[in-house]
Structure 1
Amino acid sequence: MSNAAFVTCDLLDDNPEKVIQVVTPSMDGKFFKSYGARKSFGGQVVTVKCFEDNSRVKELLATDGTGKVLVVDGGASMRCALMGDMIAESAVKNHWNGVVIYGCVRDVDAIAELDLGVHALAAIPQKSNRKGIGEVDLTLYFGGVSINSGEYIYADNNGIVIAKEKLVDL
């Protein structure tokens, strides 16, 4: 497994002069959990906003993702998954470093075997319906932060941080 050259705690401690946002656990029990084989991952952000429709997630993860992390605002829906094993396998094939989903995933045992960082709120077996709905490169707001395409995200078992500039080479 590659892409584990940092600890988010150290990134914060080592860069006090930089603007770094920390995704906060919410009071309503929405905490990100790690599902992929990469327990520490990061890269340049690509954002997508979709609600119970993973069409754009599938499309984006089928493109070259070298050095990137897809950040998905799924509206914290607990009714269906926005990524399963087949889409995650496509992400690995296309060199994505990771995926952060403000929503659910499925096929978690298969995803746990893939060289991909995956953080999501929960797992559910229900797949989403594909209707071609979703917007790319919007500013996303969740966990007390705003996230834009082109920024940098770093995630590990301590949490998730967002920076305007690259903090470490991955």
Structure 2
Amino acid sequence: MTQTYFDLPEKINEQLLTRAKKLSPALLCDGMQKLGIAKNGAMDASLMPIDEQKIMVGTACTVDTEDGDNFPIHVAIYQGKPDYVMIVAGKNSMERAYLGDLLAGAADAVGLSGIVVDGCVRDKLGLKELAIPVYSKGIMQRSPVKKGPGKINVPVFCAGVSVNPGDLVVGDADGVTVVPRNVVEKVIELAEEKLFYELQRATLINDYKQARENGTELPELAPSWVIDMLDKQSYSTES
């Protein structure tokens, strides 16, 4: 398809993408929570990776479709470019697969960083063999239909989250988080702060375990915020 049928959103800054690759969807959710963003960008719990070992980070491009119609997905993939994550707002359709390993293989060939499908896919074993991460709500062997036109690179609602073309999309074994483009840098900063805190906590937990095993003095295991909250609350042992 040499003709261009739509424009892709501007890619997120490469430095921000590099920083995001060191963070998990959970940490980014925590960052959004600190900003008071509703639902924290977390897609539905039922949306899970085909292969839990793969990590997905990229700029959102979107497809709006329904009832297992994958014609607009074909169009979007053949016009795709590296570093974009395709968000398929499939309206939670579970009756047909929106794509299989051939179409995902084409997405892999053009360099897409991932595919998120609010609906089903098929060819699970074939999808696992591809380098591209794929997320879906289930596996269904029934084939897609081709009707169109659908919509490409418009604001969509996918797996419980509003997604605009150009947003940051990050996925791992836990699921997918979408960060609105206008707060990406701030959310990454807050997520990095949380990562630093978690690394400190992990070190302390390990130190406690070692002290217990060695019979030496135990460090304080409870975080300071737990102690602060306990000072303001009380527990009764009465039934």
| 1:131 CA displacement | 1.8
Taking structure 1 as reference, are residues 110 and 38 closer, same or farther at Cα in structure 2, changes over 3 Å only? same
Larger Rg: 2
What does the per-residue CA deviation read over 1:44-77, in whole Å, with 9 as the maximum and x for residues that have no partner?
A: 1111111121011112112232110000011111
Structure 2 unmatched runs, 5+: 1-19, 189-239
Q: CA deviation at 1:8?
A: 1.4
The runs of 5 or more residues in structure 1 that have no matched partner are: 26-30
Aligned equivalent of 1:55: 71
When normalised by structure 1's length, the TM-score is 0.84
Q: CA deviation at 1:87?
A: 0.5
Structure 2 counterpart of 1:39: 54
1:125 positional shift: 0.8
* AA at the equivalent of 1:81: A
Q: Distance in 1 between matches of 2:22 and 2:173?
A: 14
Q: 1:22 corresponds to which residue?
A: 42
Instruction: Give secondary structure in 2 for the equivalent of 1:80.
Output: strand
Distance in 2 of aligned mates of 1:116 and 1:38: 11
| Aligned positions, number | 161
> Does the alignment pair 1:88 with 2:104?
yes
Which of these residues, 8, 25, 47, is aligned with residue 8 of structure 1?
25
Give the partner amino acid of 2:56. Answer: F
For residues 96 and 37 of structure 1, the distance between their equivalents in structure 2, rounded to whole angstroms, comes to 18
SS in 2 for 1:43: strand
Change in 2 beyond 3 A, CA 1:155/1:133:
same
Q: Contact 1:69–1:153 at 8 Å: present in 2 too?
A: yes
Q: Is the 8 A contact 2:25 2:175 kept in 1?
A: yes
TM-score normalised according to structure 2 size: 0.61
Consecutive aligned runs of 4 or more in structure 1 exceeding 6 Å deviation = none
Residues in 1 aligned to 2:27 and 2:49: alpha-carbon distance in whole angstroms: 19
CA deviation map 1:1-36 (0-9, x unaligned):
xx95432122334564485522243xxxxx012114
Shift of 1:84: 0.6
Q: Can you list the C-alpha shifts for 1:99-123, whole angstroms capped at 9, x where unaligned?
A: 0000110111000010011100001
Higher strand residue share: 1
Change (3 A) 1:141 1:157: same
Instruction: Return the alpha-carbon distance in structure 1 between the equivalents of residues 103 and 52 of structure 2.
Output: 15
Instruction: Measure the CA separation in 2 of the matches of 1:157 and 1:94.
Output: 24
Structure 1 position 38, deviation (Å) = 5.6
Greater helix percent: which structure? 2
- Alpha-carbon distance in structure 2 between the residues aligned to 1:23 and 1:92: 23
Distance between the aligned counterparts of 1:58 and 1:5, measured in 2?
31
Across the aligned residues of Structure 1 and Structure 2, the Cα RMSD in angstroms comes to 2.2
